[in-house]
A and B are shown apart, each in its own frame.
Chain A
Amino acid sequence: MTNPTVQLALKSLANLLHLRGEGLNEILASFGAESLEIFQYQSLGEGQFVAKLGTDELYLSVEPSVELAEEKNQYAFPRGDAAFELSGNWKALLSEVCIYDFRQCRPGDFLMVSIAGISAWLLIPESDKPLILGCDPTYGHYFQETLIKQIEKSPFLKTELENDD
């Protein structure tokens, strides 16, 4: 996208996994992320990350994959989520497609919200970094088309642009 206010790009995330089971803190510790709170993520560099979704639930993108402990009933489910990178004034764009109050979020938060009618996850970045967001792969095409259409046609985003000037 070429809109100077906000830009959308496809993002490739390696080996996305959804982990469920007991004793997942040990896996977190293996990434040096044992202090993560629920609904926070830690960047592992090179686009990789680990997010804590609950006491028995992790979401991560790591290469190579993790080793599971069968005795702890640990399950790993691969995910093929469509992922995107939103840079610029992404909050202005999302305010048109998402009800969430982004004033509440802080860098390092892992959010799960509804965007344009579908479930999506967000990695809240530092203020000058792009937002990473993803959704079920079967909605990826719709998600991308919808955001692009919004970027191209939104009068609110044009207003933001004028204000920036």
Chain B
Amino acid sequence: MKLRLAPQPLEWIDRKSSVSFTFEGQTVSGFKGDVISSALWAQGRKVVGRSFKYHRRRGLLSFANHDINALLQAEDRPNVRADVVQAEDGMSLTAVNTFGSLASDKGALVEWIGKFLPVGFYYRAFYSPKFLFPKWERLIREMAGLGKVNTDWSEERKPKRYLHCDVVVIGAGPSGMAAAIAAAKQGVDVCLIDENPYIGGSLDYQYVNEDSQQLNRKYLKETVESMPNIQVITSSYVAGYYGDHWLGINTPDGLIKLSAQAVVVASGVFEQPAVFRNNDLPGVMNASAAQRLMARYAVAPCKEAVILTANPEGYRAALDLHKNGLVVKAILDTGKTAGESVVQAKSAGIPVFENAVLVEATGRKQLQGVTFEVGRLQHHLSCDGLLMSVGWAPAGAPLYQAGAKFGYNYTLEQLLPVELPEGVFACGRINGVFEIEDRIKDGEQAGTAAAQTVLGKEALAPVDYTAKSAHSDPYPIWPHPKGKEFVDFDEDIQIKDLKGAIAQGFDNIELMKRFSTIGMGPSQGKHSNMNGIRILAKLTGKTIDQTGSTTARPMFHPTPVSHLAGMRFRPERLTPLHSFHQQRNACFMEAGSWLRPEYYPTAETREASIAEEVSAVRNSVGLIDVSTLGKLEVFGRDAGELMDRLYTMRMSNMNVGASRYALMVDETGVVIDDGVAVRYSEEHFYVTTTTSTSDSAYRLIQKKVIEWGLKVTVLNRTGQIGAMNLAGPNSRKILAQLTDLDLSNDAFPYLAMRRAQVCGVEATLIRVGFVGELGYEIHTDSQSALKIWASIMEVGSEYGIKPFGVEAQRLLRLEKGHIIVGQDTDGLTNPFEANMPWSVHLKKPYFLGKPSLMKLKTLQNRTLVGFELLSKAHKDMPLESNLLIENGAMIGRVTSIGRSATLNKVIGLAMVETAFSEENQVLKIKLTDGRFVDAKVIKTPFYDPQGLLQKPDESNEGEAA
């Protein structure tokens, strides 16, 4: 292996285990623990990708999860980040964004015509001639983008997990570890999060060769591991900070939603590249990238290095190379750095050029040398590695998202947090603290303060550990007349592109970003924003603070959609009678969160099965599961008052043992619910709601009870009570065999309610006629419902009883002209429009929606009408929601429609403009295919208009008891 070093003290690789994979068809070997990039680099493969726009050869730059030119295509996923994804046996990888191969990429032709493709060219081109645009679009789509998504892959979802702690520390470098320990020592629960597989951070690559840090390292790591109240989460990053200290943490296994009471941000800094001609040649990289490559994977960044630096960290990197036996040709200092590492470097015999400027990298396919000037004298050094250490930018995404304010510190030449939200703390290099001992103290201080916030203690006045000298060059940017000085390696943005954007008026940081696309690539500006800000500030004559910064939105790194989606929780309710329906092979349908039998397949077709069920109800008897109805118990001193206020009809005058239609409207008078109310006692009502509104009705009623200050209790008993409707001419004969209750018309008249034992079980019986036949709703506790149902089916077999489903019920009620709230009404329908003025008792002192209904009574401009189809051809069957058209204008829509075997015609309900609602009015229904069929308005109910069948042999009108 060409660039593999001797074992390093803290290396992450296992030299006893090797891995082998292919890259661009060639076999690559590495060690277990190698990331893809380190394995490639160790073999001397310095070209790992092509750039986005010009398809220039690119190598490693930051080696910190934002090496955007090292994105690879794997068989099962695109855009694999080679700088952080571990190499695995059998991987088959290719570079993304190439036309041909990485070695011979036809896309590189773009560079030759680059001058015709200035910044933002796509905003101004391709508009005319218009007919060419689709061709341009195809070409652009082909050229743009990186990896290819394999759309054949099936749905993938990863679980999400909630995690709670007192203090979360982001970043497990020396400051973060110290913060976690300090907080944990206060007795609070701490989570320590780091995106690397091991804790340690820069302590393990910038100070790996410094004996003085061995004690610190041992103490910090061992203490973190030994404290039971510190939970360490590695290989995971904070994708976003949200309100109230909620963090989204992306782990390899899925997303964690973490809630903390205090947040310590010790996320460190991003090293920023210098901007000079050919700064993108493979071999030019950040010095910290080189240090990570050596310390973690024992791979040399090069054989002969030149260091370009503006800080002691660059000198330290030079010493690391020197210690590993690599040649350091020179250190090019953009200023005159002082300090111990400078002395050591000079003592080691490394030549130092101070005040170096006008740097230029040379080489064709990869770095071969560097040219620079000192005191107007030009120098050239041959090398295969140019390591840049010219400055830092805060890894401040969590702070920005938390609402922290940053200001530019001219001593450090770095943006620092100057205002932090409550419960949020920063420490370490992001805080401008660079000396290692100070970073540890700063971490301890932040961790202690965070814990004290949690414990409600007063924090001590913070000590300022900010560095006293610059660690960044104020302008590490050297424009070149021939260009190719890259500011943004994601999008191939050069200095001239930013100049062009500014010249065209995009001279605000957010505008410049969007026009030039700087910071909009996969790394989201992690290595380009700071230089972009410096360039904009210089060209507009503003300060860094006046120039501002772009917004750091979540996600911090690209986060898989499968992680964001999480597991799908879709609650599904089964009625207490579900097992029976299953035994009868019912075809189920979703009704809100419920599964209900649509029909029972007893005939050859769906329609025939439904017709059989309808016929059974009309001619003998049928049984339907109505357990999905909402069921509310209302009891207490003010129960009658509450019922009066909630429903449009008067309820407080109901007799005990009576039932009444219960229609609810909202404040605007719009119908929102209907059901049946019964009165158990003076202070106790039981009321049903529609299937889909039980929860919303319950919430509304609870809110109103509080608002109105009534002494009443409302319980939602929907799931605790099973219910069924026994309907048909023979229903009474069956029920009579199962109860001792007197079912005669006199003793139990239409619309009455009785509580009795059925099959030895307590039940509530209500004589209602939703389907227009003699019928009994039977309500009982959920455990007993199946017993009653089974007994009814058994006794009913003598009468040919059939269970019937939702579709049969819909048809049966349509024949009676009964509405379904939400189907025959919409979000604007009031009771007058629904043709139910009888249900509104405006003489009541008050009910919810009364003021609106009083006005709406005279403002009605549409009406729900019944109609029959004039065509009998089956192919002309309209659908619900088909429109009614008159003279080209819409005058209404079909709300319900069905073919009534009982009446031998197609009937329906339609909401039409009042002018078209008169009986015998011909309506033109526009079918889905555009043809029209005629229908005629007729009176409802369509079936048994006198209502004689639901109260046979009875003279009583309405409720009794």
Which of B159-167, B292-300, B320-328, B724-732 touches A? B159-167
- Determine which of B162, B189, B715 lies in contact with A77 in the assembled complex, contact meaning CB atoms within 8 Å: B715
B547: interface (CB < 8 Å): no
Q: Are A75 and B635 in contact, CB atoms less than 8 angstroms apart?
A: yes
**How many A-B pairs fall under 8 Å by CB?**
94
- Determine which of B161, B569, B719 lies in contact with A138 in the assembled complex, contact meaning CB atoms within 8 Å: B719
Q: Are A156 and B781 in contact, CB atoms less than 8 angstroms apart?
A: no
Q: Are A18 and B715 in contact, CB atoms less than 8 angstroms apart?
A: yes
Q: Are A73 and B161 in contact, CB atoms less than 8 angstroms apart?
A: no
A35: interface (CB < 8 Å): no
Q: How far is the CB of A39 from chain B (nearest CB, A)?
A: 18
Q: Are B573 and A97 in contact, CB atoms less than 8 angstroms apart?
A: no
Q: Are B719 and A137 in contact, CB atoms less than 8 angstroms apart?
A: yes
Determine the chain A residues whose CB is within 8 A of the CB of B253 once the complex forms: 155-156, 159
B574: interface (CB < 8 Å): yes
- Determine which of B164, B578, B720 lies in contact with A101 in the assembled complex, contact meaning CB atoms within 8 Å: B164
- Determine which of B254, B571, B576 lies in contact with A156 in the assembled complex, contact meaning CB atoms within 8 Å: B254
Q: Are B782 and A137 in contact, CB atoms less than 8 angstroms apart?
A: yes
Q: How far is the CB of A131 from chain B (nearest CB, A)?
A: 16
Q: How far is the CB of A120 from chain B (nearest CB, A)?
A: 11
A150: interface (CB < 8 Å): yes
Determine the chain A residues whose CB is within 8 A of the CB of B633 once the complex forms: 75, 77
- Determine which of B163, B570, B578, B636 lies in contact with A73 in the assembled complex, contact meaning CB atoms within 8 Å: B636
What's the Cα separation between A111 and B606 when bound, in Å?
Answer: 46
Which of A23-31, A121-129, A139-147 touches B? A139-147
A98: interface (CB < 8 Å): yes
Q: How far is the CB of A96 from chain B (nearest CB, A)?
A: 5
Determine the chain B residues whose CB is within 8 A of the CB of A98 once the complex forms: 162
B567: interface (CB < 8 Å): yes
- Determine which of A118, A153, A156 lies in contact with B161 in the assembled complex, contact meaning CB atoms within 8 Å: A156
Q: How far is the CB of B380 from chain A (nearest CB, A)?
A: 54
Q: Are A80 and B781 in contact, CB atoms less than 8 angstroms apart?
A: yes
- Determine which of B572, B573, B782 lies in contact with A80 in the assembled complex, contact meaning CB atoms within 8 Å: B782
B303: interface (CB < 8 Å): no
What's the Cα separation between A53 and B545 when bound, in Å?
Answer: 56
- Determine which of B161, B189, B573, B782 lies in contact with A142 in the assembled complex, contact meaning CB atoms within 8 Å: B573
Q: Are B569 and A137 in contact, CB atoms less than 8 angstroms apart?
A: no
Q: Are A80 and B162 in contact, CB atoms less than 8 angstroms apart?
A: no
Q: Are B571 and A142 in contact, CB atoms less than 8 angstroms apart?
A: yes
Determine the chain A residues whose CB is within 8 A of the CB of B161 once the complex forms: 95-96, 156
With A75-B635, A79-B720 already in contact, the answer to whether A20 and B159 are too (CB < 8 A) is no
Name B189's closest neighbour in chain A (CB-CB).
A103
A3: interface (CB < 8 Å): no
A99: interface (CB < 8 Å): yes
Determine the chain B residues whose CB is within 8 A of the CB of A100 once the complex forms: 162
A116: interface (CB < 8 Å): yes
User: In chain B, residues 560-576, which have Cβ atoms closer than 8 Å to a Cβ of chain A?
Assistant: 567, 569-576
User: In chain A, residues 143-165, which have Cβ atoms closer than 8 Å to a Cβ of chain B?
Assistant: 146, 149-150, 153-156, 159
What's the Cα separation between A141 and B575 when bound, in Å?
Answer: 10
A32: interface (CB < 8 Å): no
What's the Cα separation between A21 and B781 when bound, in Å?
Answer: 20
> Does more than half of chain B's interface fall in helix, strand or loop, or is it mixed?
mixed
Name B635's closest neighbour in chain A (CB-CB).
A75
A91-121: contact bitstring with B at CB < 8 Å (1 yes, 0 no)?
0000111111111000000000000111000
Q: How far is the CB of A28 from chain B (nearest CB, A)?
A: 19
With A73-B636, A77-B715 already in contact, the answer to whether A136 and B159 are too (CB < 8 A) is no
Name B574's closest neighbour in chain A (CB-CB).
A141
- Determine which of B164, B569, B717, B720 lies in contact with A146 in the assembled complex, contact meaning CB atoms within 8 Å: B569
Q: Are B720 and A99 in contact, CB atoms less than 8 angstroms apart?
A: no
Q: Are A117 and B571 in contact, CB atoms less than 8 angstroms apart?
A: yes
What's the Cα separation between A77 and B635 when bound, in Å?
Answer: 12
- Determine which of A77, A80, A117, A153 lies in contact with B569 in the assembled complex, contact meaning CB atoms within 8 Å: A117
Interface centre among A79, A97, A139, A156 (most CB of B within 10 A): A156
Q: Are A139 and B573 in contact, CB atoms less than 8 angstroms apart?
A: yes
A4: interface (CB < 8 Å): no
B239-268: contact bitstring with A at CB < 8 Å (1 yes, 0 no)?
000000000000001100101000000000
What's the Cα separation between A163 and B531 when bound, in Å?
Answer: 44
B101: interface (CB < 8 Å): no
Q: Are B717 and A77 in contact, CB atoms less than 8 angstroms apart?
A: yes
A78: interface (CB < 8 Å): yes
B783: interface (CB < 8 Å): yes
B701-741: contact bitstring with A at CB < 8 Å (1 yes, 0 no)?
00000000000010101111000000000000000000000
Q: Are A137 and B720 in contact, CB atoms less than 8 angstroms apart?
A: yes
What's the Cα separation between A156 and B158 when bound, in Å?
Answer: 10
Determine the chain A residues whose CB is within 8 A of the CB of B163 once the complex forms: 95
Determine the chain B residues whose CB is within 8 A of the CB of A136 once the complex forms: 573, 718-720
Interface centre among A79, A118, A137 (most CB of B within 10 A): A137
Q: Are A138 and B254 in contact, CB atoms less than 8 angstroms apart?
A: no
Q: How far is the CB of A97 from chain B (nearest CB, A)?
A: 7
Q: Are A78 and B720 in contact, CB atoms less than 8 angstroms apart?
A: yes
Q: Are B571 and A80 in contact, CB atoms less than 8 angstroms apart?
A: no
Q: Are B570 and A117 in contact, CB atoms less than 8 angstroms apart?
A: yes
Q: Are B719 and A154 in contact, CB atoms less than 8 angstroms apart?
A: no
Determine the chain A residues whose CB is within 8 A of the CB of B259 once the complex forms: 101
Determine the chain B residues whose CB is within 8 A of the CB of A137 once the complex forms: 576, 719-720, 782-783
Q: Are A20 and B719 in contact, CB atoms less than 8 angstroms apart?
A: no
What's the Cα separation between A101 and B633 when bound, in Å?
Answer: 33
What's the Cα separation between A159 and B715 when bound, in Å?
Answer: 42
What's the Cα separation between A102 and B161 when bound, in Å?
Answer: 13
Name A118's closest neighbour in chain B (CB-CB).
B571
User: In chain B, residues 750-784, which have Cβ atoms closer than 8 Å to a Cβ of chain A?
Assistant: 781-783
Determine the chain A residues whose CB is within 8 A of the CB of B627 once the complex forms: 138
Determine the chain A residues whose CB is within 8 A of the CB of B257 once the complex forms: 99
Q: How far is the CB of A123 from chain B (nearest CB, A)?
A: 19
Q: Are B164 and A116 in contact, CB atoms less than 8 angstroms apart?
A: no
- Determine which of B160, B573, B575, B576 lies in contact with A96 in the assembled complex, contact meaning CB atoms within 8 Å: B160
Q: Are A96 and B713 in contact, CB atoms less than 8 angstroms apart?
A: no
What's the Cα separation between A117 and B573 when bound, in Å?
Answer: 12
Q: Are B571 and A20 in contact, CB atoms less than 8 angstroms apart?
A: no
Q: Are A99 and B162 in contact, CB atoms less than 8 angstroms apart?
A: yes
- Determine which of A79, A96, A117, A142 lies in contact with B162 in the assembled complex, contact meaning CB atoms within 8 Å: A96
Name A153's closest neighbour in chain B (CB-CB).
B159
Interface centre among B159, B259, B635, B782 (most CB of A within 10 A): B159
Q: List 26 A-B contacts (CB under 8 A).
A: A20-B713, A75-B635, A77-B717, A77-B720, A78-B720, A78-B781, A80-B576, A80-B781, A80-B782, A80-B783, A96-B159, A96-B160, A97-B569, A99-B162, A117-B569, A136-B573, A136-B720, A138-B594, A138-B718, A139-B572, A142-B574, A149-B567, A156-B159, A156-B161, A156-B254, A159-B253
Known: A80-B782, A136-B719, A142-B572. 12 other contacts (CB 8 A): A75-B633, A75-B713, A77-B717, A80-B576, A80-B783, A138-B573, A139-B571, A139-B719, A140-B574, A141-B572, A150-B159, A156-B159
The 3 closest A-B pairs by CB, nearest first: A136-B719, A155-B253, A101-B164
> Interface of B with A (CB < 8 Å)?
158-164, 189, 253-254, 257, 259, 567, 569-576, 578, 594, 627, 633, 635-636, 683-684, 713, 715, 717-720, 781-783
